[in-house]
Amino acid sequence: MTPETRLSIRIDSEMGKIGAREIAFLEAIESQGSISGASRFTGLSYPGARLVIKGINKALGEPAVSAVKGGREGGGAALTPAGTQLVQLYRAIEMRVQAVALPERRELQKTCTRKRYPSKNRGQLKRSG
The model's pTM is 0.76
Distance CA(100)–CA(28), nearest Å, equals: 27
Enter the CATH code of domain 10-113.
1.10.10.10
Three-class SS state of 7:
coil
Distance CA(102)–CA(99), nearest Å, equals: 5
- What is the predicted pLDDT for the residue at 109? 80
% of residues, the chain, pLDDT over 70? 80
Instruction: Kindly report, residue by residue over 20-50, the tens digit of the pLDDT.
Output: 999 999 999 999 999 999 999 999 999 999 9
